[in-house]
């Protein structure tokens, strides 16, 4: 089945939480709930809906069922409203347990992606509140990279933009889950490179993620190895640029950019020999 625009937006939104609950979530007494999260992480909303519907309604199964509606290709407007309604109920019943926190996060994500005129200030406020009120919670921390994307690309003065870069960078020490920290670092690095060409500030952010092997998806690893190599070269860090190029060639020996990376590597080694 070909993915609709709705599904192409919904599935990345769903994937983070499904993986989060599969990895960090509360232990489920019903096997169907666990298999429902696994199905959702695999973007199989039909199987996930079946699994979550097969058990007596709990807050966890209700959350899972609500999120399957985001991945359903049929009657998308109705499904979206039903999803929003179920999430509001979960949030209002208890905003501070795992499921209330997740509901709050996903209500903000739905508003960000699906409202015709999203209230950006309210969405940013929700992300900030999640991070402030639930430090260390794996779902609340999903808000950090989302928070980073909204204010950094706004049309503001240079001084205000500097303050926003500082705000996002100040979040990093408080993020306890490595992949949430990685995503936030990479969003910040991308903005620094695109908006400021600030390789000196962006490079350590990318390099940290590479050194800690936090970038798991091959397409992202491909991109950030190239960015790290180029940033290191511009900063005069030849040995580090060489290391990133060598890792790229080893990891992606058949990529269409590998030959060019090999030529860059030879030039870097030549510069090093004649330094």
Task: Give the pLDDT confidence of 123-163 residue by residue, as tens digits.
Answer: 999 999 999 999 999 999 999 999 999 999 988 999 999 99
For residues 87-99, give the mean pLDDT: 96
Band of pLDDT at residue 3, cut at 50, 70 and 90: very low
Cβ proximity of 119 and 111 under 8 Å: yes
Q: Is residue 77 part of a domain?
A: no
Query: What per-residue confidence (pLDDT) applies to 4?
Result: 35
Structure tokens at 184: 């936030």
Is residue 231 a contact partner of residue 199, using CB atoms and an 8 Å limit?
Answer: yes
Task: Decide if 65 contacts 89 (C-beta within 8 A).
Answer: no
Q: Is residue 114 part of a domain?
A: no
90 belongs to a structural domain: no
Determine contact, residues 205/189, Cβ cutoff 8 Å: yes
Whether residue 11 is contained in a domain is answered as no
Q: In this structure, is residue 238 part of a structural domain?
A: yes
Domain membership of residue 262 (yes or no) is yes
Could you give the CA distance from residue 269 to residue 273 in angstroms, rounded to a whole number?
A: 6
Residue 261 structural domain: 217-274
pLDDT digit string (tens) for 108-129?
Answer: 999 998 888 999 999 999 999 9
3 occurs within a structural domain: no
Taking each helix axis from N to C end, the angle separating 143-152 and 120-133, rounded to the nearest 10 degrees, works out to: 140
Is there a domain that residue 255 lies in? Answer: yes
pLDDT of residue 73: 56
Q: How many domains does the chain have?
A: 1
pLDDT of residue 6: 35
């Amino acid at each position: 089945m070909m993915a609709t625009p709705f599904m192409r937006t919904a599935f990345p939104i769903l994937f983070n939480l499904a993986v989060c609950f599969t990895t960090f979530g509360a232990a489920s007494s019903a096997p169907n709930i666990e298999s429902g999260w696994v199905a959702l992480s695999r973007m199989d909303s039909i199987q996930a809906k079946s699994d979550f519907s097969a058990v007596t309604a709990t807050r966890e199964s209700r959350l899972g069922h609500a999120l399957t509606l985001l991945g359903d290709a049929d009657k998308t407007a109705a499904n979206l409203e039903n999803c929003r309604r179920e999430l509001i109920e979960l949030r209002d019943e208890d905003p501070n347990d795992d499921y209330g926190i997740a509901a709050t996060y996903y209500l903000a994500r739905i508003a960000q992606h699906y409202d015709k005129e999203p209230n950006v200030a309210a969405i940013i406020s929700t992300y900030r509140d999640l991070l402030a009120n639930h430090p260390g919670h794996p779902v609340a921390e999903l808000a950090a990279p989302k928070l980073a994307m909204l204010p950094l690309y706004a049309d503001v003065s240079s001084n205000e933009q500097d303050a926003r870069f500082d705000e996002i960078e100040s979040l990093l020490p408080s993020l306890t889950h490595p992949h949430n920290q990685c995503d936030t670092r990479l969003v910040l690095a991308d903005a620094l490179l695109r908006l400021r060409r600030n390789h000196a500030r962006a490079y350590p952010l990318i390099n940290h993620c590479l050194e800690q092997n936090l970038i798991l998806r091959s397409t992202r690893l491909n991109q950030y190895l190239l960015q790290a190599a180029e940033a290191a070269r511009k900063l005069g860090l030849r040995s580090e640029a060489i290391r990133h190029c060598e890792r790229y060639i080893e990891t992606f020996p058949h990529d269409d950019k590998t030959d060019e990376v090999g030529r860059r590597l030879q030039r870097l080694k030549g510069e090093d020999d004649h330094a």
